[in-house]
Every structure is written in structure tokens, then in C-alpha cells.
Structure 1
């Protein structure tokens, strides 16, 4: 029976590094690419920037997620068994819940490697996933300029 590996993606270099690591280390595994739409992102952007319109780049975070999943999927060879999923909610909670609900054998995710006060202000999805996941988690450190 093949393994099922969850790879959360957000379009960053660190998430691409995590996907590459997953492909190298789990070459026979079925991959699920998960983009988590944080519902607070659009709201925060609109509140922080009066006059902001979502037309600037994407109409919504959901559209952005779909675009990222499509572009990441296109980088994989056709023979790689992969599924793409878009979910909404707090990222760490959604990642752990998805792994629990879908019999995932492991999670490979990227870390932006933030340190100091910015890490405490923004939080660390990777750290939360490591603490809460019921399966092994591999954190891949990406390049610092995500």
C-alpha cells in the first residue's frame, strides 16, 4: 500500500521546496497539495488599506489558491499521483484536520524561517502543525526572501 503525503502549498519558495523534498523522499507516495484560504486575509486587507479592491491581483483568496494549485500541479510530471484540494479556515488547524480526516501518513510543509518579534506577531503555521499533528511532520526551510 502506498503512502499518502500531504503537502500544504501557498505559492512561496518554501512551499515549493517542501514539494520538491516530498517528491524526492516519497517518490512512490500519493501526494495531496492543499491550499488553505484564510478567511481573514481578504477582510484584513480591506480594513488595512481603505480603497483596496481585490481586483488588484485576484478577486479573492479562493481564486488565488486555485491559481497556485494549478500552477504547482503543472510543475509535476504527469505520472505523479497528485490531488489538489482547497479548504478554508485557520491554516494550521485545517492542515491538521485534513490529515486526520483523510488518513494521511505524513505532512511535508515549508517554513518561512521568520525569527524574532515578527515570528511572534505573525505566528508559525509550521510550529502549530508540528505540535498538533497526529502523523509525522517534516518541515523544510525555504529561502528567506519568500
Structure 2
């Protein structure tokens, strides 16, 4: 049976490095790149406590388009390494969505960049990679 590897991707260099690692270390695996859209980001971007619904749909669409671009870039990066990958975007909290996706889609291994967020958001929100590693039902490789 072919191994199935999950690689969470965002706009960070670390996620690109994680995808490159997965493509080179698991050349015969099925690889899925997933980008998580966090609804909290939609509300935060409205600039109004609780969010403004008039802006919410526009902001969500912007984030979905951004996710499409991130996933398209991931397909291109994988193709540069001779891999054809599946891509998917999901909505939810980033860490929990990655863990849930792994459990619901017969993932054998997660390869994740060490951090995508920087500065205060990383300190306040904690490390996504660390949380995924602690909660994952499958082995996790953190690429630094």
C-alpha cells in the first residue's frame, strides 16, 4: 500500500521546505498539501469586534483566493521535484484542522514546517507544528 503524506502549506518559506522534504524523502508516496483557512482571520480582518458581515464574505473570498494561489504554488513546487500532489483547503483552527484531516483521510505521516507565523502571533498562538506533533494520530516530521 502506498504511503500517504500530509503537508500543511502556507506562504512561509518553512512550508515550502517541508513540501520539498516530503517530495524528496517520500518519492513514492501520495502527497496531499492542505491549506487551512482560519475563520478567526476573517473576523480579525474586518477590524470590528465580532466582525462585520458585509465585509466577512468579501474577506473570506479574498482568503480563499489566497489559498488557491498557495496551493497552486505548492503544485508547482512539487512538479519541480517530479511529484504530482493533491491539494485541498479546509476551514477551521489550523492545528486542529491538520490533526483532524490526518485522522479522517488515512494519512500515514505529516511533514510540517517548524513555523509559519512570526513574532507576537507565534508567541500568543503557540507553535502550530508543536501542537500538531503533540496531538497527531500519526508520526510528524518537523522541518526546520
TM over 0.5: yes
CA distance in structure 2 between the partners assigned to 1:115 and 1:69 by the alignment: 21
Corresponding residue for residue 8 of structure 1? 8
Q: Does the Cα contact within 8 Å between 2:12 and 2:116 map onto a contact in 1?
A: no
Match of 2:75 in 1: 73
Matched, 1:98 2:101: yes
Alpha-carbon offset, residue 97 of structure 1: 0.4
Distance in 1 (CA, whole Å) between partners of 2:97 and 2:117 is 21
User: Hey, what does 1:131 align to over in structure 2?
Assistant: 134
Contact kept in structure 1, 2:8 and 2:33, CA below 8 Å: yes
Unmatched 5+ residue regions in structure 2? 49-54
What is the distance in 1 between the residues matched to 2:66 and 2:43?
Answer: 15
The answer as to whether partners of 1:29 and 1:81 remain within 8 angstroms in 2 is no
Local SS of the residue matching 1:7: strand
TM-score relative to the length of structure 1: 0.82
With normalisation by structure 2, the TM-score equals 0.83
How well do the aligned residues superpose, as a CA RMSD in angstroms? 2.8
Alpha carbons of 1:13 and 1:116: their partners in 2 closer, same or farther (altered >3 Å)?
closer
Compared CA separation, residues 4 and 30, structure 1 to 2 (3 A) = same
User: Offset of 1:63 from its aligned partner?
Assistant: 1.3
In structure 2, distance between residues paired with 1:139 and 1:13 = 13
1:90 and 1:112, CA in 2 relative to 1: closer, same or farther beyond 3 A? same
Verify: 1:85 aligned to 2:77, yes or no: no
Structure 2 CA distance for aligned equivalents of residues 44 and 69 of structure 1: 23
Distance, in Å, in 2 between the alignment partners of 1:115 and 1:36 is 17
Cα separation, 2, equivalents of 1:63 and 1:10: 13
